[in-house]
């Protein structure tokens, strides 16, 4: 195979994949030699879409007869507790145990190479790289890129590719994809929820998975310490009604000391943005989550007046128009000021 860095790239950033892109991705997988080693990677601090898409696709590859399959993600090999029930977790390996030179690497839900952390080097050491994603800010960093900004979740792209390969989505694959789809659509509450999304959900439910059990496990179970932590962090939320050209900005932050004091793992903070974004007086909601001294994982949400992906890209991150993030450095005040400075220039322009 040609190296991932020297091979011609397919799939342009921000453009729906063409038939040629789909055919190229299909060929990469169909042309794998017997015994080929395939490494699947999703982004750091994986959420339901990242892990669900990756593990569901991995199970699909096993159905196709690909035996040498590893799945991994950068950083500590810690799966968030709500995702502990996902099928395919046995295929996960720590980042430092991942194949250093696989025949094919497939990336899931990573908007940029930087989201692959210490595993980004696999893009050049692998025989080829296939990128599956739905972030409009994705520049297309693979040999073949299936980046569909119109897809509600990366699992939408993954399911379509498996269908082209003739994989039958069984109950285990369906559960992975359903978790991915529900997490990225906010349980079908976000604007990306289209008729096609519900049609996909119906196909997945038809395999016999239990949406009630899945939703209870993924969305509705939280340690009491996390409940106390949320109360403390929400208690320090700040509302700036004049920010974002008067559309309003609400934000809060959680430190490593907060986590330690309540004996909680960082993953519990992922759901915090949903409690902040519901503020009626603010279009933009934001949560800063400390990762190390002077470094913050920043999550932003918009109700429609502000394109937070423009804010995130300007600050080194990426994402969607109404859901994006970046890594902030400095004090809380410095990071918030950097966001505030970008908001007025990121207003969504009304369509004529």
Q: Are 230 and 253 in contact (CB under 8 A)?
A: no
Q: Are 42 and 98 in contact (CB under 8 A)?
A: no
The pTM assigned to this predicted structure is: 0.88
Rounded to an integer, what distance in angstroms lies between the CA atom of residue 115 and that of residue 109? 9
Stretch 260-284: mean pLDDT, rounded? 95
Residue 263, sorted as left (phi over 0), alpha (psi -120 to 50) or beta, turns out to be: left
Long-range pairs of 224-232 with CB within 8 A, sequence gap ≥ 24: 225/262, 225/263, 225/264, 226/262, 226/264, 226/268, 228/262, 229/254, 229/258, 229/259, 229/261, 229/262, 229/264, 229/268, 229/269, 230/272, 230/275, 232/258, 232/262
CATH of domain 19-219: 3.90.1640.10
Q: Does CATH place domain 224-344 in 3.50.50.60?
A: no
- Classified as helix, coil or strand, 104 is strand
Q: Are 154 and 35 in contact (CB under 8 A)?
A: no
**Confidence band for 334, pLDDT divided at 50, 70 and 90:** very high
Percent of the chain with pLDDT over 90: 88
**Confidence band for 349, pLDDT divided at 50, 70 and 90:** confident
pLDDT in tens, 50-66: 999 999 999 999 999 99
pLDDT of residue 4: 40
Size of the chain in residues = 352
Q: Are 176 and 87 in contact (CB under 8 A)?
A: yes
DSSP H stretches of helix in the chain: 19-30, 48-63, 122-125, 154-164, 171-184, 195-205, 211-218, 224-234, 256-261, 272-277, 308-314, 332-343
Q: What share of the chain is helix, strand, coil (3-state, %, to 5)?
A: 40, 20, 40
pLDDT of residue 167: 97
Select, from the ranges 9-13, 60-64, 135-139, the one with the highest average predicted confidence (pLDDT). Answer: 60-64
- Beta-carbon contacts of residue 56 (< 8 Å; ≥ 6 apart): 87, 88, 155, 158, 159, 162, 172, 173, 174, 175, 176, 177, 180
What DSSP character marks residue 141? -
* DSSP assignment of 80-96: -GGGTT-TTGGGB--GG
Stretch 234-263: mean pLDDT, rounded? 98
pLDDT of residue 194: 94
For 325, counting Cβ atoms within 10 Å of its Cβ (0-12 exposed, 13-18 middle, 19+ buried), the class is buried
pLDDT in tens, 149-180: 999 999 999 999 999 999 999 999 999 999 99
End-to-end CA distance of the chain: 48
pLDDT of residue 266: 92
Give the residue extent of every domain in the chain: 19-219, 224-344
Give yes or no for residue 12 having a pLDDT over 70. no
Sheet holding 284-292, edge to edge: 238-240, 249-254, 284-292, 295-302, 323-329, 318-319
């Amino acid at each position: 195979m040609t190296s991932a860095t020297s091979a011609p790239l397919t799939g342009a950033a921000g453009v729906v994949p063409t038939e040629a892109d789909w055919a190229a991705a299909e060929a990469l997988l169909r042309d794998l030699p017997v015994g080929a080693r395939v490494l699947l990677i999703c982004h750091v601090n994986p959420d339901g879409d990242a892990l669900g898409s990756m593990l569901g696709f991995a199970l699909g590859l096993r159905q196709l007869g690909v035996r040498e399959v590893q799945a991994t993600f950068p950083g500590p090999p810690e799966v968030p507790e709500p995702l502990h029930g996902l099928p395919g977790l046995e295929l996960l390996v720590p980042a430092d145990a991942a194949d250093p030179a696989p025949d094919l690497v497939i990336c899931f839900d990573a908007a940029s190479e930087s989201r692959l952390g210490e595993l980004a080097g696999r893009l050049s050491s692998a025989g080829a790289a296939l990128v599956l994603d739905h972030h409009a800010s994705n520049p297309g960093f693979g040999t073949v890129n299936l980046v569909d900004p119109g897809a509600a979740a990366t699992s939408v792209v993954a399911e379509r590719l498996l269908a082209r390969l003739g994989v039958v989505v069984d109950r285990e694959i369906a559960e992975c994809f359903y978790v991915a789809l529900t997490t990225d659509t906010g349980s079908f509450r976000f604007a990306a929820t289209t008729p096609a999304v519900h049609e996909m959900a119906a196909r997945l439910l038809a395999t016999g998975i239990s949406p009630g059990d899945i939703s209870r496990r993924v969305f509705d179970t939280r340690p009491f310490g996390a409940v106390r932590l949320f109360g403390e962090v929400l208690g320090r939320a700040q509302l700036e009604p004049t920010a974002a050209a008067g559309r309003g900005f609400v934000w809060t932050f959680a430190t490593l000391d907060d986590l330690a004091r309540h004996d909680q793992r960082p993953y519990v903070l992922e759901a915090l943005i949903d409690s902040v974004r519901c503020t009626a007086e603010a279009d933009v909601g934001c949560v800063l989550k400390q990762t190390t001294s002077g470094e913050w994982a920043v999550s932003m949400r918009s109700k429609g007046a502000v394109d937070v992906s423009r804010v995130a890209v300007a600050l080194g991150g990426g994402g969607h128009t109404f859901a994006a993030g970046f890594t902030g450095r400095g004090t809380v005040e410095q990071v918030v000021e950097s966001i505030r400075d970008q908001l007025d220039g990121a207003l969504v322009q009304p369509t004529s």
